[in-house]
Chains A and B, each alone.
Chain A
Amino acid sequence: MQRSLSDRNLPSWGHVWLLAPFFVFLSLFWITPLGRGLLLSLESDTLFGESTFVGWQHYRDLLADSRYWRAVLNTAVFAVSTITITITLALVFAHALRFCNRRIQGPLVFGLMIPGLCPPTVLALLFLLVFHGKEGLLNRWIIQPLGFETINWLSDPDFILSAVVIQAVWRWTGFMAFFLLCALNARPREILDAARIDGAGVWSRFVNVTLPLIAPTLTFCLIYLIIDCFAQFAGSYVLFGGSGGTNDAGLLLVTYAYQKAFIGGGFGSGAAVSLSIVPWLAGMLILVAMVPRNVWKEGSTR
């Protein structure tokens, strides 16, 4: 609900000066390179020397490339799994945190955020130990006590993607839990009390009252996670260092772009893969942005 719209619909000079810095820097440092990147994706893969214009060749090659589609599939599965698990866990933690004493909430939140704040190089070393097949910490402390056979997270094609999901969930749950905690705290008392008095069960209260109230934050979290899963290379790089694992089981779109550019030496095709991520990403975002809007409108009591 817009509360401060001025009907003086004009950009006055004052407005232009306020808008200018952001958009000048944007054009200077992002639009220009973006254009250059687009051009790069239309050029041949020559590393040293003059490259020739090849038009849409790289994109055509991508469409016919089975590894590319494998990467699309992997990225989609990865994104959906990470997001569902992270949001669920984050909601659980957020509710749990509300029970706690105000004073320890702060340190607890910080504790949850640690994985996100840790330097990626350290995490790379740590994951080596955590995800190791027989000796790994994950196997020793969780898998084996539960009675299963050790899992070779980093080599077994069936589990590689799971390892990537686990590290993403580990890194982001803390931040999401924090956002959702604030959202939960912001729910108007009256509505919650009203629902409780009405006799609605815990689950029904959650779905019909809480969800719509926290929908905007939830959407923000979803958007952030989607962008991270599709466009962020750091997570997978930390685990695999640019490789996709056995049989490309862990090959993500960003990984494939990196391989094409830096291992195959083809910056043109790498740029094409990177640019091709944009439609997929935009598609996911539109999907996400559309759905909650309806939920929001219905459930909102404003």
Chain B
Amino acid sequence: MNSFLNFPSIANRSVRFALIIIICAIVNVSWAEPVKIWISSQQDKIYYDNMVRLYQQEVDADFQAEVQAFGFREMPDKLAIAFKTQTNTPDIVQLDEVFFGMYLQGEAPFVDLTDRVKAVGLDESIMPQRLELFSLGDRVLGLPQSLSAVVIYYRRDLFQQFSLSPSEFKTWDDFMAIGEELAAQNQPLLALDPSYFGMLLRQRGGHLFSETGDVLPDFELAVETLEFMGELAQKRIGLMPDRSTIFDPVFFGGDVANNEILAIMGADWYGLDMIQQFSSELEGEWGIMPLPVWTDEQGNPNSVRTSTFAGQGLVVYKGSDLIDESWEFVKFVMTNREANAQRFLQGNSFPAYKPAFEDIRLLQPQPFFGYDSMGQILVDLAPEVPRVMMNPKRPMAVFMIREGMLSSVMYGEGDARTALTRFKDQLEGGGGPPPGVN
């Protein structure tokens, strides 16, 4: 007790105490700001809220984050304005690849993650084609959340009714032949969607943009592909949904429920998200098969069995004050076993992270898909997923395709060559700096 009143020890303790307070204050001030995460759907917000909790449990209990969900169309709008005005900017954004390109004109507002990615070996553990998706040149600007491998979802019950089996659909020629037989019985086979153009083109090794930014470098291939889609529509093998899109809830309540189509081509997230949600009464009646392959003149297969379209990714804002903290969280969501599993189990998407492919939970047979295992099929197809050439004009291109620039061909109102030429001219004529230039 006497020593307690001893002046030197009091001074020591006070000094130490004061130092501790000061250090804590400094540390708290720099860690007080929560990391702001912007998400474009309510469902994903729930997932990310869970991920934040998981991160707090497993890695850093002091981590603070604010997850905000906006409307699907609203989020990119708000983001664009935030970047333009440098106000109210988030730290992490979950962005769909379809919108990503928009921010690449001029200086990209995203942190160059290349070195960080290499440092933890993510450049090897994430499927390279998917890593390329959110890159510009050599710079990795975002990490892909999903494999987005395209498969065909077919109706088991209707296949049985028409005595069909998935093994009959080896090539697109087979597909066309079976389709013609069905069309003779007034039964369309496949739903059609404008996004199929990109998917089919990519499956054949073509691209919307070349590495140097030219539009439709494989023009003839593109014309052939579009003509193929037109043929499907004309022969009534392919059915255009009312709103010209398979991403329409009424499509499920109408065309699908009325058994008007036997199959839909879509990515992993399409089956997990839309089909499971809107076709829940058809649980067990859906099956999954890889895409038929394209063949050359001799009939030899010359394409892969899958394609890719869209998919979300995580990006970090360049002007953020919390870049390191954000990166740690992003890295966690990408690599953590539980995070990858939950993404699949909660009906979001199949991860592009190779180690996750061994997780038994992702490989289990699924009652919804008639005990097919989507995971098994996707793991099998993963190496064949084609690349997507990212380009600042990609959002505009996807938008134009979706808005029917090419749909006229499917409605029989014009030929593929003219439509594609117009498409190419419009894209090339648009303003903005040449792609690939920072």
Contact = CB atoms under 8 A, between A and B. Distances in A.
A134 B404 contact: no
B103 to A, nearest CB: 6
Q: Which 3 A-B pairs have the closest CB atoms?
A: A133-B242, A246-B404, A48-B109
Given A132-B254, A154-B243, A245-B403, A264 B102 contact: yes
A249 to B, nearest CB: 8
Interface of B: 73, 76-77, 80, 83-84, 102-103, 105-109, 240, 242-244, 248-250, 253-254, 318, 392, 395-396, 399, 402-405, 407-408, 411, 413, 426, 430-432
Contacts of A132: 242-243, 250, 254
Given A133-B243, A247-B408, A264-B432, A46 B106 contact: yes
A244 B396 CA distance: 13
Contacts of B240: 155
A254 B22 CA distance: 55
Q: Most chain-B CB neighbours within 10 Å: which of A48, A132, A262? A: A48
Contacts of B395: 263-265
A47 B106 contact: yes
A155 B243 contact: yes
B404 A264 contact: no
Contacts of A67: 426
Interface string A262-278: 11111101000000000
B243 A245 contact: no
Contacts of A244: 403
Interface in A245-293: 245-248, 259, 261-267, 269
Given A47-B80, A269-B431, A243 B403 contact: yes
A247 B405 contact: yes
A155 B244 CA distance: 6
Q: Most chain-B CB neighbours within 10 Å: which of A46, A241, A264, A266? A: A264
Contacts of A45: 105-106, 431-432
A61 B430 CA distance: 9
A266 B103 contact: no
Q: Most chain-B CB neighbours within 10 Å: which of A47, A243, A248, A262? A: A47
A264 B248 contact: no
Given A48-B107, A263-B399, A264-B395, 5 more contacts: A49-B107, A154-B243, A243-B399, A264-B431, A267-B84
B109 A47 contact: yes
B106 A154 contact: no
A47 B244 contact: no
A47 B105 CA distance: 7
Given A47-B106, A241-B73, A246 B408 contact: yes
11 contacts: A46-B106, A61-B431, A128-B249, A129-B250, A134-B242, A155-B244, A243-B399, A246-B404, A259-B399, A265-B432, A267-B84
B403 A246 contact: yes
A216 to B, nearest CB: 40
Contacts of A269: 431
Contact of A265 (B105, B107, B244, B407): B105
Contacts of A266: 105, 431-432
A48 B83 contact: yes
A245 B402 CA distance: 9
A157 B405 CA distance: 11
For chain A, which range describes its interface: under 10, 10 to 19, 20 to 34, or 35 or more residues? 35 or more
Given A47-B84, A136-B242, A245 B105 contact: no
A129 B248 CA distance: 11
A247 B404 contact: yes
A58 B218 CA distance: 31
Interface string A149-172: 000101111000000000000000
A266 B105 CA distance: 9
B84 A155 contact: no
A115 interface: no
Interface string A37-80: 00000000111110000000000010000010000000000000
A160 B409 CA distance: 17
B106 A49 contact: yes
B242 A152 contact: yes
A242 interface: yes
Nearest to B243: A154
A266 B402 CA distance: 20
A48 B111 CA distance: 13
A47 B103 contact: yes
B349 to A, nearest CB: 23
Contacts of B242: 132-136, 152, 154-155
Nearest to B245: A155
Nearest to A48: B109
Contacts of B426: 67
Contacts of A245: 403-404
A263 B106 contact: no
B105 A46 contact: yes
A75 B386 CA distance: 42
A48 B106 contact: yes
A266 B396 CA distance: 11
Interface string A200-243: 00000000000000000000000000000000000000000111
Contacts of B402: 243
Contacts of A242: 73
Contacts of B430: 264
A135 B254 contact: yes
Nearest to B432: A45
Contact of B254 (A134, A154, A156, A243): A134
B407 A128 contact: no
Contacts of A267: 80, 84
A259 B426 CA distance: 14
A45 B103 CA distance: 11
A240 to B, nearest CB: 9
Nearest to A134: B242
